[in-house]
């Protein structure tokens, strides 16, 4: 008995020495409402994915993990807590991520940008909206007006780029003021602001709630945008296996939502209150953004651009070595552990593909460029249609049956982005075929070039019904 | 006055001692366990940030915007607070009808007012003024009520027996009697109005010290945040002192009584 106690005591002392019995904190800062961060936070937390991958061998044999989750609505307070050493991981966009890097340097530490979670190499996800009652149909009409934007966000970068593309001076030709999304929501609702630029999911969420209309997609500015994950560099050096485990959990979350986007869109709604149809718009097949964990050159550039933009605005004079700041060794290790090919994923620019049959004909949809979808409330799968006119035909039928429609989606004929069809513009050709567009202008130009007439959703719908 | 002059060195030394402690604590990265100065910028870094703001062309715009918002909200709060306070303090009926709803509104923090302030007022500027107004109103109101209630009823009774009417009593007895308390309320209200500035300027911004502070937070510029905080502190202290000084001129009897 005494021998056992002695041995046990000795073992304890030894493990204490080589630190394997220590408690390892894993404190992760998430942005639940920024729904494209879901695979770096919300889904890992809700599905308990981290436990599956945390190491329990080698130096972690007796390690005890203490996982802490904290939710934020923007990157700034999250960075604040990371710098203060209260968080080890954090998820945020390119712009705030760069500040995260700079703030760590200022405090005599370092942080690493370890993976992308979701983004768009073209810039979708960011967008500009106007109040629903506004007459404005395009950015060009906003000259001389006031646009609000969350300061120093990825949407701010997009707005400046969009303004520059118009050939305007951001100081003179319009007034850009700072406004947080939650405040902009009230301001749009009560017509207090002429336009508002914002990041995921607000440029879709506000229109979906009916009080705003999207007039500009980030893809028009061609300014890559993404949300990704960061870690404290010292922490990563001390526990590289834990960092890899976090990213494996992220890869698993990505696999799960890719397989069942409707189910996990509902889960995101349950946690954040952001409607599942908006979540599906981003996370579903051919979605507005593409979940992507690899460091594509466009995303590396987005980090560099954000710092340069703020230097231009004279809001910062600090530089950041992006080659050091962006560290892909952990995500590469996670891919390897999961049996996936990082380099293959790196060169894959395709959005999440769709393999589905047309809900009317039952035939497989081979050409997804004219895809349209309807989500009926209460159904756990979105219905897919080969064309907008087929979807609108089915819509009339569904409405006759008294079904509540959650959302109708169409893919834009020009940019290919997924649109909320009830706010989109359509061109109807002689054969009655519809092509969807985000903007009135785009639809009219297309009609001029290819024949047909430009219609909004309601008239397109009426024409179709009248035709029968 | 000479006694006052003798007290100034002590006050200055106290401020300097605080500064010195901050400089030492921040530069040796003092860690007291519960409280740590590890990541706090040093006064020198803050001074550099302040210099940058001072030499930039935007300082005047920031100051002008904030001063106008605070003073507009404060002026409205002073007028309404004193008027309502006198009414409530003098009339049981007014107390029963007006005070309960005001007491319900009083604990509501300024930040919770933001969404409604945006929905209710026609411009962001007025929404911001409303927020600074809510900050200033209640200290002024409650101190005025207290002052009006505390007026010696024998003074009111003797004035009445000498034939004074309602207005004369209010003007000659109640107002002077309540004035020291009102002045205290006005001085506190000035401070609390500044207190709400950052909240107000979160609504929308381009200029303003509260906005500057908030923007610096977004940019993670910690020294700039402290510059903003200190500016608000100094301006709040200065304007409170101004109100006190003006109040002292308005209540000469109170001043002499205190000095004696």
CB-nearest to A107 from B39, B215, B219 is B39
Using 50, 70 and 90 to split pLDDT, how confident is the model at B67? Answer: very high
DSSP code per residue over chain B: -HHHHHHHHHHHHHHHHHHHHHHHHHHTT-B-SSSB-TTPPPHHHHHHHHHHHHHSTTHHHHHHHHHHHHHHHHHHHHHHHHHHHHHHHH-HHHHHHHHHHHHHHTTS-HHHHHHHHHHHSSSHHHHHHHHHHHHHHHHHHHHHHHHHHTS-HHHHHHHHHTT--HHHHIIIIIHHHHHHHHHHHHHHHHHHHHHTHHHHHTSSBSS-HHHHHHHHHHTT-HHHHHHHHHHHHHHHHHHHHHHHHHHHHH-HHHHHHHH-
CB distance A181 to A206 below 8 Å: no
High-pLDDT (> 90) share of chain B, %? 65
What CA–CA distance (Å, rounded) separates A103 from A99?
6
What CA–CA distance (Å, rounded) separates A127 from A203?
5
Which letter does DSSP use for residue A317 in this model? -
Instruction: Encode pLDDT of B131-189 as tens digits.
Output: 999 999 999 999 999 999 999 999 999 999 998 888 899 999 999 999 999 999 999 99
Q: What is the mean pLDDT of residues B230-255?
A: 89
Q: Which of A83, A178, A306, A312 to mutate to test the interface with B (most CBs of B within 10 A)?
A: A178
CB distance A30 to A250 below 8 Å: no
What CA–CA distance (Å, rounded) separates A303 from A92?
12
**What integer pLDDT is reported at residue B260 of this predicted model?**
43
Residue B206 has pLDDT above 90, yes or no: no
B220 backbone dihedrals φ, ψ, rounded to 5°: 60, 35
Instruction: Encode pLDDT of A67-92 as tens digits.
Output: 999 999 889 899 999 999 999 999 99
Map out the domains of chain B as residue ranges: 42-259
CB-nearest to A152 from B115, B205, B218 is B218
- CB B218 to CB A84 under 8 A? no
- CB A151 to CB B202 under 8 A? no
What CA–CA distance (Å, rounded) separates A88 from A92?
13
Question: How far are the Cα atoms of A209, A216, A412, B225 from residue A391, in angstroms, in the given order?
Answer: 22, 25, 14, 53
Using 50, 70 and 90 to split pLDDT, how confident is the model at B72? Answer: very high
**What integer pLDDT is reported at residue A17 of this predicted model?**
46
What CA–CA distance (Å, rounded) separates A206 from A181?
10
**What integer pLDDT is reported at residue A15 of this predicted model?**
46
CATH number attached to the domain at B42-259: 1.10.3720.10
Q: Is the pTM of this model over 0.80?
A: yes
Q: What average pLDDT does the structure give for chain B?
A: 90
What CA–CA distance (Å, rounded) separates A187 from B111?
15
A177 backbone dihedrals φ, ψ, rounded to 5°: -120, 160
CB distance A299 to A121 below 8 Å: yes
ipTM, 2 dp: 0.73
Residue owning tokens 């999207």? A214
pLDDT lower than 70: segments of chain A? 1-20, 314-315, 468
CB distance B200 to B132 below 8 Å: yes
Residue B24 has pLDDT above 80, yes or no: yes
Residue B92 has pLDDT above 60, yes or no: yes
* A-chain residues near B215 (CB < 8 A): 151-152, 178, 315
- Using a CB–CB cut-off of 8 Å, the residues of B that contact A are 38-39, 114-115, 118-119, 122-124, 202-206, 211, 214-215, 217-222
* B-chain residues near A148 (CB < 8 A): 204
Residue B121 has pLDDT above 60, yes or no: yes
Instruction: Encode pLDDT of A130-160 as tens digits.
Output: 999 999 999 999 999 999 999 889 999 999 9
Residue B258 has pLDDT above 90, yes or no: no
What CA–CA distance (Å, rounded) separates A48 from A75?
23
Instruction: Encode pLDDT of B26-56 as tens digits.
Output: 999 888 888 888 888 999 999 999 999 998 8
Q: How far away is chain B from the Cα of A140, in angstroms, using its nearest Cα?
A: 22
- Report yes or no: A99 at the B interface, CB cutoff 8 Å: yes
Closest by CA position to A65, among listed A27, A116, A15: A27
């Amino acid at each position: 008995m005494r021998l056992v106690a002695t041995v046990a005591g000795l073992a304890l002392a030894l493990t204490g020495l080589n630190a394997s019995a220590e408690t390892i904190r894993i404190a992760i800062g998430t942005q639940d409402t920024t729904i494209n961060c879901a695979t770096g936070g919300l889904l890992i937390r809700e599905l308990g994915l981290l436990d599956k991958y945390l190491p329990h061998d080698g130096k972690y044999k007796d390690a005890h993990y203490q996982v802490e989750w904290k939710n934020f609505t923007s990157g700034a307070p999250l960075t604040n807590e990371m710098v203060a050493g209260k968080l080890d991981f954090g998820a945020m966009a390119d712009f705030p991520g760069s500040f995260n890097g700079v703030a760590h340097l200022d405090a005599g530490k370092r942080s690493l940008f370890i993976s992308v979670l979701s983004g768009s190499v073209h810039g979708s996800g960011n967008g500009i909206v106007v109040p629903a009652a506004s007459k404005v149909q395009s950015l060009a009409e906003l000259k001389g007006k006031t646009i609000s934007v969350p300061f120093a966000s990825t949407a701010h970068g997009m707005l400046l780029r969009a303004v520059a593309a118009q050939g305007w001076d951001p100081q003179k030709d319009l007034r850009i003021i700072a406004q947080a999304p939650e405040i902009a929501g009230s301001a749009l609702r009560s017509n207090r602001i002429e336009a508002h630029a914002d990041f995921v999911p607000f440029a879709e969420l506000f229109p979906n709630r009916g009080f705003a209309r999207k007039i500009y997609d980030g893809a028009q500015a061609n300014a890559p945008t993404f949300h990704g994950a960061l870690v404290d560099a010292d922490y990563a050096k001390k526990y590289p296996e834990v960092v890899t485990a976090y990213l494996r959990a992220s890869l698993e979350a990505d696999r799960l939502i890719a397989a069942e986007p409707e189910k996990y869109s509902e889960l995101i709604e349950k946690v954040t209150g952001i409607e599942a149809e908006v979540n599906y718009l981003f996370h579903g097949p051919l979605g507005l953004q593409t979940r992507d964990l690899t460091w594509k050159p466009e995303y590396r550039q987005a980090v560099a651009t954000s710092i340069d933009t703020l230097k231009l605005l004279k809001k910062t004079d600090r530089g950041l070595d992006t080659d050091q700041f962006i560290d892909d060794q952990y995500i590469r290790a996670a891919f390897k552990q999961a049996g996936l090919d990082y380099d293959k994923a790196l060169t894959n620019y395709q959005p999440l593909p769709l393999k589905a049959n047309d809900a009317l004909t039952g035939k497989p949809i081979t050409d997804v460029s004219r895809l349209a979808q309807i989500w009926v409330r209460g159904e756990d799968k979105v219905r897919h249609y080969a064309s907008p006119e087929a979807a609108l035909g089915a819509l009339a039928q569904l409405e006759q049956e008294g079904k509540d429609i959650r959302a109708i989606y169409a893919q834009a004929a020009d940019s290919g982005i997924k649109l909320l069809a009830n706010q989109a513009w359509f061109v109807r050709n002689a054969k009655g075929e519809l092509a969807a567009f985000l903007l009135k202008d785009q639809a009219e130009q297309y009609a001029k070039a290819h024949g047909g007439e430009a219609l909004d959703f309601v008239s397109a719908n009426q024409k179709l019904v009248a035709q029968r | 006055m000479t006694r006052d002059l003798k007290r100034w060195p002590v006050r200055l030394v106290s401020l300097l001692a605080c500064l010195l402690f901050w400089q030492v604590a921040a530069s040796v990265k003092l860690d007291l366990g519960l409280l740590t100065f590890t990541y706090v910028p040093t006064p020198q870094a803050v001074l550099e940030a302040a210099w940058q703001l001072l030499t930039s062309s935007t300082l005047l715009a920031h100051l002008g915007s904030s001063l106008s918002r605070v003073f507009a909200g404060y002026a409205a709060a002073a007028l309404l607070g004193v008027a309502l306070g006198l009414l409530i303090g003098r009339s049981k009926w007014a107390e029963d009808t007006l005070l309960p709803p005001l007491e319900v509104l009083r604990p509501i923090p300024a930040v919770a007012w933001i969404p409604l302030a945006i929905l209710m007022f026609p411009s962001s500027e007025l929404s911001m003024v409303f927020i600074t107004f809510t900050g200033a109103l209640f200290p002024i109101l409650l101190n005025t009520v207290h002052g009006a209630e505390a007026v010696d009823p024998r003074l009111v009774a003797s004035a009445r027996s000498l034939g004074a009417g309602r207005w004369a009593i209010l003007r000659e007895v109640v107002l002077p009697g309540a004035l020291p308390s009102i002045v205290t309320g006005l001085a506190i209200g000035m401070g609390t109005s500044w207190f709400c500035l950052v909240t107000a300027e979160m609504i929308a911004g381009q200029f303003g010290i509260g906005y500057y502070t908030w923007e610096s937070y977004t940019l993670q510029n910690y020294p700039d945040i402290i510059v903003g905080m200190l500016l608000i502190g100094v301006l709040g202290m200065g304007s409170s002192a101004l109100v006190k000084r003006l109040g002292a001129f308005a209540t000469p009897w109170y001043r002499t009584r205190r000095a004696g």
